[in-house]
Amino acid sequence: MRILFATLLLFTAGLACTPKVGSKIGAGPIAPDTPERYDSIGKPLIGEEAQPIAEYDLLDGVDVRPEDAAAEDTLPAYNPSHTFEHDLIHTKINIRFDWEKKHALGKATLTLRPWFYSTDRLTLDAKNFDIHSIRFEGQNTTLPYDYDKEKLVIQLGKTFTRNDEYKIAIEYTAKPDERENISGSAAILSDKGLHFINADGSDLGKPKQIWTQGETEANSCWFPTVDKPNERCTQEMYITVDNQYVTLSNGVLVSSTKNADGSRTDYWKMDKPHAPYLFMMAIGEFAVVKDKWRDVELSYYVEPAYEAYAKDIFPYTPDMLEFFSNKLQYPYPWPKYAQVVVRDYVSGAMENTSAVIFGEFVQKTKRELLDDHLGNERIVAHEMFHHWFGDLVTTESWANLTLNEGFANYSEYLWFEHKYGRDVADDHLRNEQEGYLYSMMNGGHPLIHYGYDNRESMFDAHSYNKGGCVLHILRKYLGDDAFFAGLNRYLTKHAYTDVEAHELRMAFEEVSGQDLNWFFNQWYFKSGHPQQAISYDWDAATKKAAVRIEQQQEGADVPRVFQVPLAVDIYDAGGKARREQIVLTKRAQTFQFDAPVKPALINVDAEKALLCEKEDNHTTEEWIFMYRHAPLYLDRMEAIEALLQGDDPELEKILTDALTDPSAPIRLKALGKAETSKPAIAAQVAKLAQSDADPGVRAYAIERLGKVADMKYRTIFENGLQADQPYSVVGASLSALVKIDPAAAVTASAALQNDESEAIILALGSLYASHPQAGLLTWFERSGKKLDYMNAFSFFDHYRKYLTQLNDPEALEKGINNFATTALDAATSPFRRFGATKAIADLRTDYRERGDAEKAQALSDLIAKIRDQETDPTLKMYYDMF
């Protein structure tokens, strides 16, 4: 799955996470950090993993804590794969809903067979059901059972052998909202499995929907099953709904039948086996747009207002299916491919077999997508690639999660490389590497991690980012032909089964003929990554160039020496390079190369593929040479970053070059340093502001020009406000115009007040906070409902500043009431609740500073009330700190 945001735990100052592209959570509303550091849509978030809880067992009445026992006397923590007592062969579900009670009324008929040992009982996962009856299918006698609301143990009344297949029918009511201990994680905010959205229809701005989220083990909240990733079965779904609703489930829609009571039953059938956590339903009033790839039906389910943009929201779906099918030499293996956007989703997206669910953040207009089309492409690619890695071959246990997520992560690289070339893909790789390295500040673990504390904590920067980066290293080592042939072998051999990392290794070994234990041992079964100090020398007497590489990584479970094959490019002064291959096998090692004259540059890891930290001791001249002559985007980016740390006079010339670099991320870096007080540089920035192909570069160039506050740029800003411009450009232009002509900006803003783009709403909010005018309360109130996540924090801060600046007691009173309504609305997003409460707390600070104790006290009372009514423990904790 694709994780979108972290828990609110991450409000803690200093902790950071990657909730959404370009965002960083801090102590409150803060400006986003440099985007590229946080570019991984949610994965891996530092700080979110549960702290190990000291576990201890009660033995003979004595607490025996781990530290009391010699470590070697105790088995290490180990989360095994699920032990099979039965094989679940087929699941047939009839289901309908009680919207009012948020219940599902189901009948599940399961086909089973003992796995190996004979048995007279069956244990199923079934979370918070009312069980009405359990029978062998077609029989009247009910079977006795024990049920603790989590595990259902059925007495079969006779012993079955592994040759005996039987069918059992269970009638039940699932009550997901009434389950005790509904929990969640940073990755998946709730594990109640079955979600009713706006069930009573009271929120007029929100459609009524039902959808499911199975991963990790939550689908057993709506049907009885063996809720483990190494289980798999075929599936039939009979979903009965009121006739206005559309349904979606796995497999193909076989029939739709009108019932006498006016309802309709849709029959979905998946005839290929897949894991129970990949079962899904989505029900709502969706617009469905059809498409086709080869003979496979594609469908895009969106809210009716977005019907015209459905193919833009799920960009290049047929092209990606073609690309991945060809790359893997394994055609997309499922009977259809559907993608649906739902409201209030608990994660980013989920690869339910043949029916992917996405959160509403992907639902954008064509104009909104101008700013972040890569964001939608990467998430579409990620979920699609799971249909080979995750759905066709499935991790046998959560400890091996990278066998799902590492591949899905790497598919983003593969798609970008195919569609936009290596530079764009390498920029993505760099962000993934940084996301992982950043998360390492919170400690690491082996990529295959049998010792995890909580299975949800496996959805982190290791399983995703590191998993993808390690596949890239392996691809560069084996070569493309062997790498993709190895993937084909792995898929072909293990199709429709569960897998562990050794099976991946064996597939690569069989194809390449090489032993790869060394690679898997260090990258998959140990922790960490190489930390290298690299230095260079040239001896005029011996005519030898030397590269010394010292590995400095430390830590439990971290190899003291990584075995690292590397390409090294040795450049002459004319910019011509020859390539040498080296293999690091020691903690410190010096490699010598023939060099009649001193090389202009020695570029270690010339493919820039290694996941590592490094201190590369090039001289300034060498960095400049690297920027000008080394071939990759990553070479230039490394050089620019190193050069920006210095103050060499040459730097200005390099930055001038970098403003026209072919890669947008480097142009952005250069813009950040551009001295716009110098006319020649300002002219270059103005050019980017007018015509750069990348909206982000244009918007940032406009922002930089805005700081110059020169009327001569007015036309650029006015052009940037035109209706065909990307929203980031409009927002930046408005903010820039404010600086030279506030009245014109306020006038221009009037035409934008009905715009729903978050960038525009934020730009207007910021404008009105600094240039308040009466009569905007309704706009603030309405717009506050449209923003979520980090943008909600910023917006409520603008809103508060507006109220403060306006100096109108009646408006202030209304504003506070609006904050309170939002903060107390349990149905709204926790991000909005927090943003509104924080605004109240900041207003209280204003009162205190002005010595208005009475009003400050009134707001303290209000915050106490909000805190008391808040059900989210993390928010409560933060409110205590206000």
Tell me the C-alpha distance between 690 and 733, whole Å.
11
Residue with smaller CB distance to Zn ion, 2 or 92: 2
Choices 38-46, 101-109, 174-182, 399-407 (CB under 5 A): range interacting with Zn ion: 399-407
Question: DSSP letter at 67?
Answer: G
Choices 1-9, 72-80, 139-147, 739-747 (CB under 5 A): range interacting with Zn ion: 1-9
CB of 382 to Zn ion, least distance (A): 5
| Among the listed residues 313, 300, 299, the one whose alpha carbon sits nearest the alpha carbon of residue 373 | 313
Number of residues that bind Zn ion (CB under 5 A): 4
Tokens of 467: 């998993």
The residues, any chain, with a CB within 8 Å of residue 724's CB and separated by 6 or more, are none
Contact track, Zn ion, 103-142, x by CB under 5 A: ----------------------------------------
Tell me the C-alpha distance between 789 and 756, whole Å.
16
Cβ atoms 606, 579 nearer than 8 A: yes
DSSP bridge partners of 172: 106, 131
Choices 22-30, 211-219, 398-406, 489-497 (CB under 5 A): range interacting with Zn ion: 398-406
CB of 233 to Zn ion, least distance (A): 22
Residue with smaller CB distance to Zn ion, 391 or 616: 391
Choices 89-97, 172-180, 235-243, 402-410 (CB under 5 A): range interacting with Zn ion: 402-410
Residue with smaller CB distance to Zn ion, 102 or 387: 387
Cβ atoms 408, 385 nearer than 8 A: yes
4 scored as a contact of Zn ion (CB under 5 A): no
CB of 626 to Zn ion, least distance (A): 35
| Among the listed residues 542, 225, 214, 515, the one whose alpha carbon sits nearest the alpha carbon of residue 390 | 214
Residue with smaller CB distance to Zn ion, 385 or 536: 385
469 scored as a contact of Zn ion (CB under 5 A): no
Question: Do the bridges between strand 166-174 and strand 103-114 make them parallel or antiparallel, or are there none, so unpaired?
Answer: antiparallel
Query: Torsion angle of alpha carbons 98, 103, 104, 110, nearest 10°?
Result: -150
1 scored as a contact of Zn ion (CB under 5 A): yes
Residue with smaller CB distance to Zn ion, 20 or 698: 20
**Consecutive H or E run containing 702:** helix 695-708
Tell me the C-alpha distance between 277 and 586, whole Å.
44
CB of 500 to Zn ion, least distance (A): 18
**Residue number closest to Zn ion, CB atom:** 408
Cβ atoms 765, 738 nearer than 8 A: no
CB of 457 to Zn ion, least distance (A): 15
Contact track, Zn ion, 196-235, x by CB under 5 A: ----------------------------------------
Question: What's the number of CA atoms in the CB half-sphere (13 Å) around residue 649?
Answer: 0
| Among the listed residues 82, 79, 102, 105, the one whose alpha carbon sits nearest the alpha carbon of residue 93 | 105
Residue with smaller CB distance to Zn ion, 393 or 408: 408
Residue with smaller CB distance to Zn ion, 214 or 706: 214
Q: Where are the alpha helices (DSSP H) in 42-167?
A: none
Choices 2-10, 224-232, 448-456, 593-601 (CB under 5 A): range interacting with Zn ion: 2-10
CB of 524 to Zn ion, least distance (A): 18
Tell me the C-alpha distance between 338 and 380, whole Å.
11
CB of 43 to Zn ion, least distance (A): 8
408 scored as a contact of Zn ion (CB under 5 A): yes
Residue with smaller CB distance to Zn ion, 129 or 279: 279
Residue with smaller CB distance to Zn ion, 314 or 633: 314
Contact track, Zn ion, 74-93, x by CB under 5 A: --------------------
Residue with smaller CB distance to Zn ion, 172 or 385: 385
CB of 348 to Zn ion, least distance (A): 8
Which sign does the torsion angle of CA 721, 726, 731, 735 carry? negative
Residue with smaller CB distance to Zn ion, 194 or 408: 408
- Per-position DSSP letters for 422-448, written without gaps between them: HHHHHHHHHHHHHHHHHHGGG----SS
Cβ atoms 733, 717 nearer than 8 A: yes
Question: Do the bridges between strand 296-302 and strand 349-350 make them parallel or antiparallel, or are there none, so unpaired?
Answer: unpaired
| Among the listed residues 430, 424, 393, 423, the one whose alpha carbon sits nearest the alpha carbon of residue 408 | 393
403 scored as a contact of Zn ion (CB under 5 A): no
Q: Which residues here bind Zn ion, judged by CB under 5 A?
A: 1-2, 405, 408
